[in-house]
Structure 1
Amino acid sequence: MDWSDLRYALAIGVGGSLGAAARQLGVNHTTVLRRLDALEARLGARLFERLRTGYLPTEAGALVLEQARRMAAQADEIERRVQGRDRELTGLLRVTTAFVVMEHLLPQPLADFARQFPGIEVEVVENAFLVDLARRSAEASGSWSQREADVAVRISGNVAEHLVGRPLGPAQCRVYARRGQMDLPQTITPLATLIREAPWVGFERDAQSRVYDRWMRQHLAQSRVRVRVDIFNAAAAMIRTGIGVGILPVFMEARHPELLAVSDPLPELEVPVWMLTHPDLRDTARVRAFMQHVGDAIAVTLKA
């Protein structure tokens, strides 16, 4: 049996339709249908019921999908283990991180790393959530040949137990206001006073996935929230206008001299910055070099 055909069946099972499978695999709709038809003919069994709402696995299809998932996981494990024994300081290294980390913590350490290790090509993918460091995703060629990421740099209080890495230091937060804005506080002010009297730049009303979102919902329910945004960079942009005060990570201060802290660090918003990888990749030379050199540089910044 051709493993390539099983990948097409697995993509249909995951996406629930030919269109979703085609987008995932980077091929056209007719290619997916042709490969499915060929697989069903080879097995002599119908794998999916063609419903108006999508493709539903038959009993035979469920069995094939279960085995295909195991095969995909085993193929990924083989590749990770082989890559984990790579001793060359060359090749592609994919890093995933949040936008605020890329803008404020990564640029200089990443540039220094690129100069020191010219044989390693670093590709940074900005993603607000921790992607799967074990899973492979499909490229336009239709092959499972691109890991979502090799290394993750994350601001998070919780990390997956199966990953390895280290905390680089705490990301502290304070309340900030535009410097010289006379209708806003200009000195360190008790948090209770800021919550009660100052206008605020808040986060999305229904957001609650981050500790910052939950803090906003808990503390600013009765406050004057003039504007709501989704990420710290947008919050900083609005705070710079003088429309209100808002919380930002302390490591953003250097890039925003027009803002000043008007509160002490908020202990409940202190979250560690992690650098993580999959256990099978930690001995890969380029992964190890990146985690050491870039990780050490970020740690110094966070302690400053």
Structure 2
Amino acid sequence: MVLRLAFGPRGKALEQGGARRVALHGGLRQRRSADDSRQCGTDHWNLQLQATQGRSPRFKCRYDEPRTQLSDLPTDFAYLQYFSQSHAMTNLDWSDLKHALAVADAGSLAGAARQLGVNHTTVLRRLDALEASLGSRLFDRKRSGYEPTEAGRAMLAHARHMADRVDEIERQVLGQDRELTGRLRVTTAFVIMEHLLPAPLADFARAYPGIEVEVTENAFLVDLSRQRPEVVGQSLAQREADVALRLSDQVAEHLVGRNLGLTQCRVYALRDAPELPQSVQPLKDLVRDAPWVAFEKDQQNRIYDRWMRVQMEGANVRVRVDIFNATAAMLRTGIGVGLLPTFMEAKHPELVPVSDPIPELAAPIWILSHPDLRRTARVRAFMQHVGDALARQLGAA
């Protein structure tokens, strides 16, 4: 785009309302004469700046540069930086700004990724896009982490103000819907319902007494779309759920939602059981020597099923079950060792971990809904309220 400084005849600044002004317009403008305008390639601005009274506005332009630097402007326009940054914010992707705020708060890409529930490469891509949009380096990459530059600190101040305004708007909108009545159907795995969901769900019920939450247990993803696969041809069918909470490494692309955080898995045994290991051992030794409570052989849907199929070939399996709660119940009998998420430890002090966390089994918990429902007030309220609470739990685990 072109930055155009509009001048009157013989270089006099245009007057508007009695004040000397310099008008900056986005886009190309036809030059009428050498005295009428000065042009230089730069970003798009659409605002007006008042020049200092009694001084002629001046503008230094480097024609060999793709954009004009703020340092090229005289001191009369020193406050251009504030206005230009403030205006540029409105044309940027808010998601890019959120990622920059997370980097500033965490001090690293990895920390920001954990905070946002995304991959660190996503954070880097968003940060690069923001710096490209603003034409300025926002962070210095140091050994100690990411440190905001002077331009970055200015950007972050505006971004934090925007974040506060967004939060305020969301609170006001959701507050208007607190009296809504109706049913909200939630589906989840029993292990999440028993070990993670009760406290956040109770808090939500107290905050939104007009919303009736109906929770059903289903180990696998149910149909969240308007049409079930088995009723193709009908224009509309009853949804099975409005929101799903899932412990899974695979999520259908058509669903929208949020990664709340990673869960870890370890192998556990009954404490003080004489025939079972009581301390952390190499996984290969456990597979070779210990009796096991394992998942069903035919299951392939979950990361745990696939892992067991590969890693436990030839293992001494005494009992097979289909869910983690059944595994825990069998482990309490002392029949063997078995795989459990680490967030189950608090409710099972009778069990002792006998392996380190298994990296291949680190899996996220997702809160999901259908795109058609994401703007429904009670769905948004649930996903924000319960999602934030679960993310805090998983972050503290």
TM over 0.5: yes
1:300 has 2:389 as partner: no
Output the CA distance in 1 between the equivalents of 2:240 and 2:320.
Answer: 31
Q: Which amino acid aligns with 1:107?
A: P
Q: Which residue does the alignment assign to 1:45?
A: none
- 1:228 Cα deviation (Å)? 1.0
Q: Which residue in the other structure is 1:100 paired with?
A: 191
Larger displacement relative to structure 2 (202-211 or 149-158): 202-211
Extract unaligned runs of 5+ from structure 2: 1-173, 229-235
Residue 202 (structure 2) aligned to one of 111, 135, 148: 111
Per-residue deviation at 1:136? 5.7
Instruction: Assess, with a 3 A threshold, how the Cα gap between structure 1 residues 145 and 215 changes in structure 2: closer, same or farther.
Output: closer
Displacement after TM superposition at 1:88 (Å)? 2.6
In the alignment, the residues of structure 2 paired with residue 123 and residue 145 of structure 1 have an alpha-carbon distance, to the nearest angstrom, of 19
- Partner SS, residue 185 of structure 2: strand
Instruction: Quote the sequence identity (%).
Output: 69
Return structure 1 stretches of 4+ with deviation > 3 angstroms: none
Offset at residue 112 of structure 1 (A): 1.2
Q: 1:249 aligns with which of 325, 341, 357?
A: 341
Question: Partner amino acid for 1:128?
Answer: A
Alpha-carbon separation, structure 2, partners of 1:119 and 1:136 = 28
2:183 partner amino acid: L
- Structure with greater helix percent: 1
C-alpha displacement at 1:248, in angstroms? Answer: 0.5
Report if the CA contact (8 A) 1:135-1:148 is conserved: no
Q: Which moved more, 1:276-285 or 1:241-250?
A: 276-285
- Conservation of the 8 A alpha-carbon contact between 1:98 and 1:154: yes
Q: Is the 8 A contact 2:188 2:216 kept in 1?
A: yes
Per-residue deviation, residues 253-295 of structure 1 (Å, max 9, x unmatched): 1111111111111111111100011122112111111111111
1:268 and 2:360 are equivalent in the alignment: yes
Equivalent residue, structure 2, for 1:44 = none
Aligned residues of 1:136 and 1:148 also touching (Cα < 8 A):
no
Aligned to 2:248: 156
RMSD, aligned CA: 2.0
Mapping of 1:1-304 within 5 angstroms?
A: 88-89=177-178, 90=180, 91-135=182-226, 146-303=238-395, 304=397
The structure, 1 or 2, with the larger RCO (C-alpha pairs under 8 Å, 6+ apart) is 1
The one-letter code sitting in structure 2 at the alignment partner of 1:163 is: L
1:95-114 CA distance string (max 9 Å, x none): 11111111111111111111
User: Residue type matched to 2:221 in 1?
Assistant: L
Offset at residue 121 of structure 1 (A)? 0.5
Matching residue's letter, 1:88? D
Give the secondary-structure state (helix, strand or coil) at the position aligned to 1:147.
coil
TM-score (norm 2): 0.52
- Paired residue type of 1:126: E
Distance 1:102 1:145 in 2: 27
Residue 145 of structure 1 and its aligned partner are, at CA, apart by 7.2
Whole-angstrom CA distance in 2 between matches of 1:222 and 1:96: 35
Once residues 283 and 197 of structure 1 are traced to their aligned partners in structure 2, the CA distance between those partners, rounded to angstroms, is: 53
Pick which of 216-225 and 128-137 moved more. Answer: 128-137
| Whole-Å separation in 1 of the counterparts to 2:292 and 2:319 | 7
When residues 187 and 225 of structure 1 are mapped into structure 2, their CA distance, relative to the original with a 3 A threshold, is: same
1:257 maps to amino acid: P
* Cα separation, 1, equivalents of 2:307 and 2:331: 18
Q: Matches of 2:393 and 2:356 in 1, distance apart?
A: 19
Map Cα deviations across residues 199-228 of structure 1 (whole Å, 9 max, x no partner).
Answer: 111111222221111111212121111111
CA contact (8 A) 1:92 1:123 kept: yes
Rounded to whole Å, the distance in 2 between the matches of 1:96 and 1:184 is 36
How far apart, CA to CA, are the structure 2 residues paired with 1:132 and 1:228? 27
Structure 2 distance, partners of 1:301, 1:189, is: 28
Secondary structure of the 1:109 match is helix
Q: Which structure 1 residue ranges, 5 or more long, are not aligned?
A: 1-84, 138-143
1:196: how far off? Answer: 1.1
Letter in 2 for 1:254: A
- Alpha-carbon separation, structure 1, partners of 2:298 and 2:240: 28
